């Protein structure tokens, strides 16, 4: 059954699931597969070396889906920044009207995209409520709230989605989607319950048949647990969550032990070029690559169609199961197979009686300053 949320209404999509921009992953194969599956696929602009290459990729994607898709434009701090205005111009010239923006100082690009006729729908991704509020002033249509669980740039405040999403609901006044840590329909249902209009997923979509990366990397994700990510570059306030491997371990060691604190010392370890090669050669230890804690929830490599259908079904089942939790009468209560109202049930704690005047050593453990352990 299609979902009716602010996101699906605005974009004309069936399932409120967005495939977030992913450097060296967000090509036409993946974006079109997600859009064909009923979600929103996004090309990642900066995977294309020039704006003209992006134009070709957009045209290629159009031949692969007739459903809406968008483009991610990430504004990274760089000594020589890409020509963002030129990328944005190509996006507009090619008729794309859905853009995910992320990164620093998005103001000029958002202004350019909003000045188009018709204006772009902007989903701006950020990791703090403060940044989200600034983006609201810039006129974005949706915030994509990226919790600390997420892959890639986690920000510096380390707030996970349980808090961040409710803060967004309480304070933004603009619709938002939840990003970071989502892989299934239960997650989508939870996000909707917290007030989001949909979810954004990165790592989960990396691990699909259509993601144009080496099979070994997908298998590495399936085998990994939620503890297998590492935060790198914290010292330079550019904290990034990566798949934990030999290179991240070396990088973190340098980060901790360097006496100079010079970025040059760590730069070769966090090279984007080597990270890109990982996706081509399938050697998970060849360089650093991005992944979120959600790797612990990923156990297979489905097609995008199977994945999105599964998420749709799980979310529908979860939402109706949750609705059925509300009943007309207070339940009778049941302890050791008997109604709590039955005096013969006589419930006792497995730790023995607890109460005033009872010599209960465990009670002392919890009494402040009285621990005997
Ligand atoms: C391999 C990879 C590359 C990414 N590259 C970008 C990027 O270039 N720009 C961006 O805005 N987000 C990027 N992200 C973040 C995702 O768009 C998304 O916000 C994030 O993956 C959400 O967390 P999740 O992985 O737990 O779903 C990347 C994520 C991954 C896994």
Is 148 close to ligand 1, i.e. is its CB under 6 Å away? no
The alpha carbon of 79 and the centre of ligand 1 are apart by a number of angstroms equal to: 22
The C-alpha atoms of residue 304 and residue 210 are separated, in whole angstroms, by 7
| Residue to substitute in 143, 184, 290 for testing ligand 1 pocket (most ligand atoms within 8 angstroms of CB) | 290
Length of the chain as a residue count: 373
Is 178 close to ligand 1, i.e. is its CB under 6 Å away? no
Q: Is 103 helix (H, G, I), strand (E, B) or coil?
A: strand
The C-alpha atoms of residue 125 and residue 175 are separated, in whole angstroms, by 12
Atom of ligand 1 nearest to the CA of 201: 27
The alpha carbon of 45 and the centre of ligand 1 are apart by a number of angstroms equal to: 13
Tell me which residue of 283, 214, 288, 203 sits closest to 249, measured CA to CA: 288
């690559």: which residue's tokens?
Answer: 289
Atom of ligand 1 nearest to the CA of 44: 8
The C-alpha atoms of residue 335 and residue 351 are separated, in whole angstroms, by 15
Give the residue, by CA position, lying nearest to ligand 1 atom 28. 22
In tens digits, the chain (373 residues) has pLDDT values of: 899 999 999 999 999 999 999 999 999 999 999 999 999 999 999 999 999 999 999 999 999 999 999 999 999 878 789 999 999 999 999 999 999 999 999 999 999 999 999 999 999 999 999 999 999 999 999 999 999 999 999 999 999 999 999 999 999 999 999 999 999 999 999 999 999 999 999 999 999 999 999 999 999 999 999 999 999 999 999 999 999 999 999 999 999 999 998 999 999 999 889 999 999 999 999 999 999 999 999 999 999 999 999 999 999 999 999 999 999 999 988 877 777 667 676 655 555 544 444 555 555 555 455 444 4
pLDDT tens per residue across span 50-109: 999 999 999 999 999 999 999 999 998 787 899 999 999 999 999 999 999 999 999 999
Q: Are 258 and 267 in contact (CB under 8 A)?
A: no
């Amino acid at each position: 059954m299609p979902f009716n949320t602010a996101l699906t209404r605005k974009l004309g999509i069936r399932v409120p699931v967005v495939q977030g921009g992913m450097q060296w992953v967000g090509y036409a194969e993946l974006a079109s597969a997600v859009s064909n599956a009923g979600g929103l696929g996004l090309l990642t602009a900066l995977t294309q070396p020039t704006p003209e290459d992006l134009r070709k990729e957009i045209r290629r994607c159009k031949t692969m889906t007739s459903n809406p898709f968008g483009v991610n434009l990430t504004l990274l701090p760089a000594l020589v920044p890409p020509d963002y205005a030129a990328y944005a111009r190509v996006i507009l010239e090619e008729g794309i009207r859905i853009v995910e923006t992320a990164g620093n100082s998005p103001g000029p690009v958002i202004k350019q995209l909003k000045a188009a006729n018709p204006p772009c729908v902007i989903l701006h991704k950020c990791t703090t409520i403060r940044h989200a509020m600034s983006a609201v002033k810039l006129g974005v249509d949706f915030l994509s709230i990226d919790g600390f669980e997420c892959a890639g740039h986690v920000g510096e405040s380390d707030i996970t989605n349980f808090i961040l999403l409710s803060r967004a609901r309480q304070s933004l006044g603009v619709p938002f989607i939840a990003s970071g840590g989502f892989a299934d329909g239960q997650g989508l249902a939870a996000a909707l319950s917290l007030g989001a209009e949909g979810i954004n997923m990165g790592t989960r979509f990396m691990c699909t048949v259509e993601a144009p990366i080496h099979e070994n990397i997908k298998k590495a994700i399936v085998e990994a647990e939620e503890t297998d990510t590492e935060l790198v570059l914290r010292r330079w306030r550019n904290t990034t969550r990566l798949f934990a491997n030999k290179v991240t371990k070396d990088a973190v060691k340098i980060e901790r032990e360097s006496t100079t604190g010079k970025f040059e010392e760590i730069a070769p370890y966090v090279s984007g070029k080597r990270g890109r090669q990982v996706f081509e050669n399938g050697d998970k230890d060849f360089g650093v690559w991005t992944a979120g804690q959600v790797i612990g929830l990923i156990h297979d490599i489905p097609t995008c169609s199977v994945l999105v259908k599964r998420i749709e079904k799980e979310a529908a089942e979860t939402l109706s199961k949750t609705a059925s939790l509300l009943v007309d009468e207070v339940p009778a209560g049941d302890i050791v197979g008997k109604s709590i109202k039955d005096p013969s049930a006589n419930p006792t704690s497995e730790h023995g009686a607890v109460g005033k005047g009872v010599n209960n050593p465990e009670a002392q453990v919890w009494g402040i300053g009285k621990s005997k352990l």
